[in-house]
Amino acid sequence: MTVEQWLDEAVKMLKDASIESARLDAELILSHTVRESRTYLHAHGDEALDSQHEDIANARLELRLEHTPVAYIIGHKEFYGRRFKTTPAALIPRPESETIIELLKDIIPKNLPLLPEKLTLVDVGTGTGCLGITAKLEWPELNVTLIDNDVHALNLAKENGKMLHADVRYMKNDLLRAFGLPINIIIANLPYVDRTWDVSLDTQAEPQNALFADDGGLVLIKQLCEQATLQLKPGGHMLIESDPRQEHKIIEFAKSLGFKHLNTEGFITVFTRL
């Protein structure tokens, strides 16, 4: 079987399984299997696959047909131009979460290297560590702590931090409880999916405790806001990822605690502590 024949058959099977990204997924699976780029596949479509590669690609395709996300099959996901290891211990990094890094550009002072004290950024519910690690690599002068209450997720974040040479601190903790240090910036992608919402079949492979939350998906976000009233320094910032359907309730709740809503972009809402 040639490269193009395998891709054509894989795409048909994936489409029959109602997987919308059929062509992309097939190319990612095969390129990872043969350890070549997708561009290579396009240029060598008439080349024959060796039997070992074909068997491995077929096994991976079966996983995708069962709605295992591609990032778990190939073991990594790109986030803000960097490759992060992915396992079922944590949610797969989403492109919409990159907005947090973009918003930090307007929050972190341009003269950061000249400040007498390091600013402290805490990534709450870090998962793979993609947000906090990226922040540290983009702004090395930041003092960054990654927090998660799941030891397996935290170990994955540690692997990514080591792989990407990010000098960050790791902490197993329930949100900010007893964090103990004043914080300048909080970033958080906590579980916020309401259990009554329709979700894609792919999410069933991800850790459910990292997706779903009670109180319409807001219970942990509310807890974080309450704890931030004690931990976040006046004038500090808090960036929270949520569903746009929850935005109004989150803003009203945060305002009741003394936060000011600065702006919302996509899935990210930005507050400052008065």
Q: Does 25 fall in a domain?
A: yes
pLDDT at 186: 98
| Contacts for 243 with CB less than 8 Å, ≥ 6 apart | 192, 193, 197, 217, 267
- Of 268, 271, 269, nearest to 98 by C-alpha is 268
| pLDDT the model gives residue 273 | 96
**Within this chain, do residues 153 and 212 fall inside the same structural domain, yes or no?**
yes
Distance between CA atoms of residues 126 and 187, nearest Å: 9
60 neighbors 17 (Cβ within 8 angstroms) = no
The total number of structural domains that make up the chain: 2
Q: Count CB atoms within 10 A of the CB of residue 117.
A: 7
The pLDDT, as a whole number, for residue 178 is: 84
| CA dist 153 → 74, 148, 240 (Å) | 18, 7, 19
Please report whether residue 190 resides in a domain.
Answer: yes
The pLDDT score that the predictor gives to residue 261 is 98
Which CATH number do you get for residue 137? 3.40.50.150
Q: Tell me if 93 is assigned to some domain.
A: yes
Q: Are residues 232 and 191 in the same domain?
A: yes
Q: Which residues contact 167 (CB under 8 A, 6 or more apart)?
A: 136, 140
Domain-embedded: residue 168: yes
CATH of the domain at 34: 1.10.8.10
Does a structural domain hold residue 226?
A: yes
Q: Does 226 lie in the same domain as 98? A: yes
Each residue's pLDDT expressed in tens, for the chain with a length of 274 residues: 999 999 999 999 999 999 999 999 999 999 999 999 999 999 999 999 999 999 999 999 999 999 999 999 999 999 999 999 999 999 999 999 999 999 999 999 999 998 999 999 999 999 999 999 999 999 999 999 999 999 999 999 999 999 999 999 999 999 999 898 899 999 999 999 999 999 999 999 999 999 999 999 999 999 999 999 999 999 999 999 999 999 999 999 999 999 999 999 999 999 999 9
